[in-house]
Amino acid sequence: MLGALGELRLWEIVVLSLRVSLSAVALATIAGLPLGAALAVGRFPGRHAVVVVLNALMGLPPVVVGLAVYLLLSRAGPLGGLGLLFTPGAMVVAQTLLILPIIAALCRQSVEDAWREYDEQLRSLGVHGMRAAATVLWDIRFSLLTAVLAGLGRASAEVGAVMIVGGNIDGVTRVMTTTIALETSKGDLPLALGLGIVLVAIVLAINAAAYLVKEAAQRKYG
């Protein structure tokens, strides 16, 4: 169906997609888990409002995130000097912002539930502060992994944000989803379809991994 050249292009696109999405997941995890955990146990005025906003941000439309990042990174924007617009870096920034709320909100929920259960027992044992946090986070590590994989699923499947800030430049910022959109409109259905299959396979694999990890953990640790 595809020639050797087409296949090469296809894999370049797949690799770039994974690089962008995995980088975004890594950054969003580093920022999102502590943020979620702090929101779960912290008590400060306005906490409920922050939680509501965070939950709402889980459904952020990718095109809106793309637009916001575009405005930030465009020549005249506040971060225009970085020269990131229309590079993979800009796509990482956009996807990070897109999935940060997902990872943080899911983490907050898991930590809050576990904390409610463990709090008295740990205090009874004289376990406080960092040690208590470490105990709880370790015990819910598989739920946290699920949160991270949810972020990865979202990042690898979205098209709006990377299209706007990446510009869909051939060989530079063209990823699976943007290629599918472009090739479909151009009528090159084989390439679009091939990428579509790869994309669905990846998303399926991520979700299967999440499910299996959770199942195995349930059996092993209860």
Which residues here bind other proteins, judged by CB under 8 A? Answer: 117-118, 120-121, 123-127, 131, 135, 139-140, 217, 220-222
Nearer to other proteins, 48 or 220 (CB): 220
Nearer to other proteins, 7 or 117 (CB): 117
CB of 143 to other proteins, least distance (A): 10
Apex 148 CA angle, 56 and 212, nearest 5 = 120
The structure tokens listed for 126 are 């004289």
How many residues in total does the chain contain?
222
Nearer to other proteins, 125 or 200 (CB): 125
Amino acid at 195: L
CB of 141 to other proteins, least distance (A): 9
Give buried/exposed letters for 104-137 (b at 16+ CB in 10 A, else e): bbbbbbbbbebbeebeeebeeeebeeeebbebbb
The structure tokens listed for 75 are 């020549």
CB of 83 to other proteins, least distance (A): 47
CB of 124 to other proteins, least distance (A): 5
CB of 119 to other proteins, least distance (A): 9
Nearer to other proteins, 3 or 126 (CB): 126
Amino acid at 26: A
Contact between residue 148 and residue 206 where contact means Cβ atoms under 8 Å apart? no
Nearer to other proteins, 44 or 120 (CB): 120
